[in-house]
Amino acid sequence: MKKYIIKRLLWLIPIMFIVSLIAFFLMYLSPGDPAAIYLSQGGDAPDAEALAALREQLGLNDPVWVQYGRWVGNIFRGDLGTSIFTGNPVAQEIANYFPNTLKLTALSMALTLAVSIPLGILCAVFENKWIDVVLRVLSFINGSMPGFFIAMLLILILGVRLRWLPTISSGSALGIWMPTFTLAIALSASYVRQIRNAIIEELGQDYIRMERAKGIKEWAVLFKGALKCALPRILTLAGLNFGALLGGTSIIEIVCTYQGLGRLAVNSITNRDYPLMQGYVLVMAFIYVIVNLVVDILHAYVDPRVKQQYMKSAVRKKVRLTDGSNKVVQ
C-alpha cells in the first residue's frame, strides 16, 4: 500500500505540469489585454504610455516561454502571482474564499448522504413497488432540472414567499443554507438511484441468501450486510463529487450570491484577471487529484477485497522463479 501511495504521489508531478501548461496557455491565448482592461476600469481609453508601462511592469512584453518559466518558478516559491484587478496576492485571494467553499461542499455532501441513503435503501427494499416508482420518478424529474433553476425556485419559495432564509448571502449563519439545499437537491437525484442499484445488487448476492437462511433478522441483513458491502461504492461516489464540488459550484454561488471560490473564479474571468484564473485552475486541479488519492486509500481500507488485491499484487512482484528469470509467478 505504501508503494502504491508513493507511486500516486509521484504521478502528481507530470499531472500538475500538464495542468500548468494548459492553465497558462489557455489564459495567454484568451482574447483581451489584461493591462488594457485594468486601465479601462474607469470607462476611459487607456493612455498609450501608461499601457506600455503597465505591460512592462507585469512582464507581458516578454516571450511566452519566459513568462511561463517565471510563473512556474514563482509557484515553487509559493507565489501564485498577483491579482491584476485587486492587487492582492493570488494565494491570499484563494485562501480568503476557500473556507467558505469548503464549508458549503462539506455541508452539501453531508445533507445529500443523509437524504439519499435512506431513500435509496427504501427504494431497494420495495423494489418496483409504488413507493419505489414514485421516488424514482421524482429523482428523474429532479435530475432533469438544472442547478440554477433549483436555486431560483428555492429563493422564490424559501426566501421570498416563506421568508425562512435570506435571499442574499451576507455572511450570516443562515446565508449558507440556500446554496446548501440547492446542491443537496441536485446531487440527491443521482445518489438515490445509484444507492438503490448498489443495495439491490448486494441483496442478490449469495451471502445475503445464506444470512437469511440462518434466520438472521432482515434489518441486520440489510444494514450489517448489504449496506456495509455497498459503502465502498458510496464512499467513492461521495469522494469524487466532493472534489468536483470544490471547484464546480460557480453557478450556484453566483445565483445565491455566496462568497466562495466559484464566485471568485467567475469574477476573475469577467475581469480578465489572468493570474487569478491561472492560480485557481492550478489549485483546484491539485486538490482534485489529492481528493481522488485519499478516496482510493479509504476505499482500500473500507473494502477488504481491494486491500487484499493490493497485497497479492505486491507478493506476486516479489516472488521470482528459482532460475533467475524475471517472469512473475502467477
pLDDT digits (tens, 9 = 90+) for 291-308: 888 887 777 777 666 556
**Residue-wise over 193-209: b if at least 16 C-beta within 10 A, else e?**
bebbebbbebbeeeebe
| Predicted pLDDT at 30 | 72
pLDDT tops 70 at residue 276: yes
| Predicted pLDDT at 1 | 64
Using one digit for the tens of pLDDT, what is the confidence trace for 79-123? 888 887 788 899 999 999 999 999 999 999 999 999 999 999 999
User: Which is more confidently placed, 198 or 326?
Assistant: 198
- Residue 292 is placed in which grid cell? 481522488
Q: What is the DSSP letter of 303?
A: -
| Confidence bin at 157 (pLDDT 50/70/90) | very high
Cα–Cα distance, 110 to 116 (Å, whole number) = 10
| Predicted pLDDT at 241 | 84
pLDDT tops 80 at residue 311: no
Phi, psi of 317 (to 5 degrees): -70, -25
| Predicted pLDDT at 312 | 56
Residue 180's closest CA among 259, 104, 256, 257?
104
| Confidence bin at 329 (pLDDT 50/70/90) | very low
Q: What is the DSSP letter of 23?
A: H
| Predicted pLDDT at 148 | 86
Residue 248's closest CA among 179, 152, 145?
179
Cα–Cα distance, 235 to 300 (Å, whole number) = 11
pLDDT tops 60 at residue 326: no
| Predicted pLDDT at 319 | 53
H-helix segments, 160-302: 177-203, 206-213, 218-220, 228-247, 250-255, 261-270, 274-302
- What DSSP string runs through 67-111? HHHHHHHHHHTT---B-TTT-SBHHHHHHHHHHHHHHHHHHHHHH
User: Which is more confidently placed, 72 or 270?
Assistant: 72
| Predicted pLDDT at 323 | 46
pTM: 0.80
Cα–Cα distance, 210 to 45 (Å, whole number) = 79
Question: Which segment, 49-58, 247-256, 281-290, is predicted with the most confidence on average?
Answer: 281-290
Q: How far is CA 190 from CA 154, 216, 227, 250, in A?
A: 19, 31, 18, 20
CB 199 within 8 A of CB 120: yes
Residue 272's closest CA among 41, 8, 72?
41
Q: Which domains does the chain have, with CATH numbers?
A: 91-272 (1.10.3720.10)
Cα–Cα distance, 271 to 85 (Å, whole number) = 7
pLDDT tops 70 at residue 42: no
pLDDT tops 50 at residue 328: no
Interval 130-149 mean pLDDT: 89
Q: What is the mean pLDDT of the chain?
A: 82
C-alpha count within 13 angstroms, C-beta hemisphere, residue 321: 8
Neighbouring C-beta atoms of residue 292, cutoff 10 Å: 16
Residue 176's closest CA among 242, 119, 71, 249?
249
Question: Which segment, 29-38, 238-247, 282-291, is predicted with the most confidence on average?
Answer: 282-291
CB 121 within 8 A of CB 197: no
Q: Which amino acid is at 316?
A: R
Cα–Cα distance, 79 to 92 (Å, whole number) = 10
Residue 182's closest CA among 145, 217, 222, 130?
145
